[in-house]
Structure 1
Amino acid sequence: MSEKKRILVVDDDPDILTLEQRVLTREGFEVVTVDNGKQAIELLSREKFDLVLLDVMMPEVDGFEVSRAFTESGENRRVPVVFVTARDDAGAMREGFSAGGTVFLSKPFTAAQLVRLVHTLIGG
């Protein structure tokens, strides 16, 4: 049997963290959650993930900074980064893609949209 794919979910909204964790765990993924960018950067420096779901607007360290820090490492460049955010304007998208993002998922989103996107990016 193959190992579960690991997903890191980073969001300062506890409701979003809970929703994403429940939905993705039910789909058979191993889900780790953190509620701020500093924790995310530390965790990403020492653990391997198959996908990162990342809020953009967080206090102290925003999602773009987390993505930059994470994707600077050569081995992490292949890990998809999904920005889960209410910011979907052209400027945010430009900044997100230049920070190493793969795709944007606009809030609010449905469980079906989340599942479809995750399966498209990493299978599972």
Structure 2
Amino acid sequence: MSATRGRLLVVDDDLVQRVLISKIGSKLGYDSVVVPSYEAATELLAREAFDVMALDLSLGERDGVELLRFVAERNLRAMAIVIISGCDDRIMKATRRVATGLKLHLGG
């Protein structure tokens, strides 16, 4: 059995995106776990550790920025966060500013 790079949490309300990102993560050597919502993500993050989180900014009722705040409140700052979104550049820059303000580690 080969060692994994760690655990990847994929948070996206779109099934196709979740499956695709999970498969990419697995090919890169991550043990991937997928959830469809803010609520499912917070429930999982409250009891399990992840090395990386791939996060869609639009999660239906809630948005990804709220999840960034939850991660900061739980002091899960060692987890790298990759933002996956079709949002425009202005929203991405604002999200980066929020993440930086929360002292979170955003991946490329």
- Check whether TM > 0.5: yes
Give the structure 1 partner of residue 89 of structure 2. Answer: 89
RMSD across aligned positions (CA)? 2.0
Structure 1 82/102 Cα, relative in aligned 2: closer, same or farther at 3 Å?
same
Structure 1: distance between partners of 2:30 and 2:69: 25
Match of 1:28 in 2: 29
Q: Distance in 2 between matches of 1:31 and 1:63?
A: 19
**8 Å CA contact retained: 1:83, 1:101:** no
Alpha-carbon distance in structure 2 between the residues aligned to 1:50 and 1:14: 22
Question: How many angstroms apart in 2 are the aligned matches of 1:87 and 1:32?
Answer: 24
Asked whether the equivalents of residues 80 and 106 of structure 2 are also in contact (C-alpha less than 8 Å), the reply is: yes
Measure how far apart 1:81 and its partner are.
1.2
- Equivalents in 1 of 2:2, 2:70: separation in Å? 29
Deviation at 1:94, TM superposition (A): 1.8
TM-score between the two structures when normalised by the length of structure 2: 0.82
Cα 1:53/1:17, change in 2 over 3 Å: same
The structure with more strand, counted as a fraction of residues: 2
Q: Which runs of 4+ in 1 moved over 6 A?
A: none
- Give 1:91 deviation, angstroms: 3.8
Give 3-state SS (helix, strand or coil) of 1:83's partner.
strand
TM-superposed CA distance for 1:101, in Å, is 5.9
SS in 1 for 2:65: helix
Is the helix fraction higher in 1 or 2?
1
Deviations 1:79-109 (A, max 9, x none): 1111100114224422343144614xxxxxx
Following superposition, the deviation at residue 72 of structure 1 comes to: 1.9
Q: How many angstroms apart in 2 are the aligned matches of 1:48 and 1:98?
A: 22
Rounded Cα–Cα distance in structure 2 between residues aligned with 1:17 and 1:7: 12
Whether 2:103 is the aligned partner of 1:102: answer no
Percent of aligned pairs sharing the same letter: 33
> Which one-letter code corresponds to 2:66 in the other structure?
E
